[in-house]
């Protein structure tokens, strides 16, 4: 967590004392910042005595520690694991394949309800996608079959995933 002074607001209230207040804000402990996030105010001991700051005078940026990301707004803190594991990565590739096939269907002039079959060429990633998420790709694209191997069909698209080239062909049934 990193504190930040709202200088325009502090300037109106403290005038020439802003550098002192900002310095105190910058020295706040993580515990004090946590209390500020919970309570919405914090008391600082200044040269002129105690003064209390509210949310409009100070902000706290919540940052995650890898692999987490964090954000705090309106008294609520959220932390998310931003790490992409293999299953999430494969699902992203599968969804990109669906997108490419759907665009190819449109370009080819297929009707919305037309059933198709898919052929694909690629390496390990393509094989893993069709082995684990082939049903998703087929369901989303209305494909009756998805088989490995090139085809001489005219409707073809290509994509590259992490250096691996993947080709997709479709044909209306």
With a pLDDT cut of 90, the percent of the chain lying above it is 73
Q: Which contiguous run of DSSP H or E holds residue 34?
A: helix 30-39
Strand intervals (E) in 6-154: 41-46, 49-54, 58-61, 68-73, 76-81, 116-121, 143-148
Instruction: Report residue 150 as tokens.
Output: 């090139």
Band of residue 67 on the pLDDT scale cut at 50, 70, 90? confident
Q: How far apart are the C-alpha atoms of 70 and 80, rounded to whole Å? A: 6
**Domains of the chain, residue spans:** 2-81, 86-172
Confidence at residue 145, expressed as pLDDT on a 0 to 100 scale: 97
Q: Are strands 116-121 and 143-148 parallel, antiparallel or unpaired?
A: parallel
Model confidence pLDDT, tens digit, residues 103-145: 999 999 999 999 999 999 999 999 999 999 999 999 999 999 9
Q: What's the confidence (pLDDT) of residue 172? A: 97
83-88 contacts at long range (C-beta below 8 A, 24 or more positions apart): 87/132
- Report the b/e string of 125-137 with b at 16+ CB within 10 A: bbebbbeebbebb
Per-residue pLDDT of 14-50, as tens digits, reads: 999 999 999 999 999 989 988 898 888 999 999 889 9
Dihedral-angle region of residue 49 (phi above 0 means left; psi in -120 to 50 means alpha; beta otherwise)? left
pLDDT of the residue at 72: 74
Size of the chain in residues? 173
User: Check: CATH 3.30.720 for 2-81?
Assistant: yes
- pLDDT at position 37 is 84
- The confidence score (pLDDT) of residue 20 equals 94
Whether the model clears a pTM of 0.75, i.e. scores above it, the answer is no
């Amino acid at each position: 967590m990193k504190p930040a002074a709202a200088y325009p607001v502090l300037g109106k209230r403290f005038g020439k004392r802003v550098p002192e207040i900002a310095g105190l804000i910058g020295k706040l402990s993580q515990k004090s910042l946590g209390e500020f996030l919970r309570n919405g105010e914090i008391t600082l001991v200044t040269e002129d005595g105690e003064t209390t700051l509210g949310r409009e005078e100070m902000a706290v940026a919540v940052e995650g520690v890898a692999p987490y990301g964090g954000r705090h707004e309106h008294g609520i803190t959220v932390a998310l694991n931003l790490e992409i594991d293999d299953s999430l990565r494969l699902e992203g590739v599968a969804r990109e394949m669906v997108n490419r096939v759907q665009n190819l269907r449109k370009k080819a002039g297929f009707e919305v309800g037309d059933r198709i079959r898919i052929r694909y060429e690629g390496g390990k990633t393509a094989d893993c996608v069709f082995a684990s998420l082939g049903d998703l790709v087929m369901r989303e694209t209305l494909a009756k079959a998805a088989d490995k191997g090139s085809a001489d069909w005219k409707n073809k698209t290509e994509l590259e995933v992490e250096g691996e080239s993947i080709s997709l062909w479709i044909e209306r049934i």
